[in-house]
Amino acid sequence: MQRTEISKYGEFGLIKHLTEKFKNENESTLKGVGDDAAVLDFKDKKVLVTTDLLLEGVHFDLVYVPLRHLGYKAAIVNFSDIYAMNGQPKQITVSLGVSKRFSVEDLEELYAGIQLACKTYGVDLVGGDTSASLTGLTISITCIGEADNEKITYRNGAKPNDLICVSGNLGSAYMGLQLLEREKIVFSANSEAQPDFEGRDYILQRQLKPEARKDIVKSLAEKGIVPTAMMDISDGLSSELIHICTQSNVGCRVYEDKIPINYQAVVMAEELNMSIVTAALNGGEDYELLFTASMEDYEKILTLEDVGIVGHITKPELGLHLVGREGEEIELRAQGWNSLE
């Protein structure tokens, strides 16, 4: 495979080379890549801004994460934050710290994944930066979005008796990570060993190529449902629920038998002698949407595809609890992954 040294292009030449295939799709993008700053026009919309930092060896392992998948995922996790505000992502900037270990072809793969994400979700690349790095690959993406004034959703609006809803299923991304880590250990002991991924395609996809739930935000709008609070599930259901309840000054009851779990994740957990419920509560990286909604929207929520009701909001003095299959109550604790620990 051809390997082109990054130094051949220089900083601005490299940016031009990596971004010239990106085409703007949004009217709000007046000026994208190529000037000192992007120019955006959102008129009467609320502007949303989020940023995410990914560090090699902390957030991703290139032993088993293809660069194209990494680029896609790096963009998706930012889109998901905008959808979690009941908004629409419109633009991103991408900044990289790159060591000499990487070639231009490597970065083309990374940007191919970013471009696919942008095309799939209708988002424009409007700028960024590149720099040399002594510690591997660093990716920083900032996403800019918009939301209607009356539909923007925060974390602090949940009220007693609201329904707690979750899209998709939980724990699959974490079990996909456990599978990859297991096969990495096998490979490190025997470089001739072939990874055993048969029948595990779904949980691998959830870890390596997650999707943001644009479809759920669209369905909520079509049904006329404005959530009272919403977050995306990046650090686990427990952690995100605690955020919502703390900021809304409420309690909650979540029912174990209502938590949506995929069959492949269950099988993987049994094989590794792990609790799939613990994975669903604390695993993270599912990028599903957790939202609360008024009881008045109950009938509408039942018609939403791929959304389940997992519990309800209570008064704050009742605390935050998981209700087990036998009716036992277990206090929810934030045990999701923390890169600073």
Can you state the angle between helices 104-121 and 10-19, rounded to 10 degrees? 40
* CATH number of the domain enclosing 19: 3.30.1330.10
Same domain, 113 and 68: yes
Evaluate whether residue 155 is within a structural domain. no
d(CA 105, CA 59): 22
End-to-end CA distance of the chain: 39
Residue by residue, pLDDT tens for the chain (341 residues) are 788 887 888 767 887 888 888 888 888 888 877 766 667 788 888 899 999 999 999 999 999 999 999 999 999 999 999 999 999 999 999 999 999 999 999 999 999 999 999 999 999 999 999 999 988 999 999 999 999 988 999 999 999 999 999 999 999 999 999 999 999 998 888 877 788 788 999 999 999 999 999 999 999 999 999 999 999 999 999 999 999 999 999 999 999 999 999 999 999 999 999 999 999 999 999 999 999 999 999 999 999 999 999 999 999 999 999 999 999 999 998 765 554 45
Evaluate whether residue 73 is within a structural domain. yes
Same domain, 65 and 130: yes
Ramachandran class of 292: left when φ > 0, alpha when ψ lies in -120 to 50, beta otherwise: beta
The domain tally of the chain equals 2
Same domain, 81 and 171: no
Phi, psi values for residue 241, rounded to 5°: -65, -40
Same domain, 141 and 185: no
d(CA 4, CA 161): 60
Given 78, 112, 147, the domain boundary residue is 147
d(CA 60, CA 337): 13
Same domain, 205 and 300: yes
Domain carrying residue 42: 6-147
Could you tell me the pTM of the whole model?
0.91
Same domain, 102 and 200: no
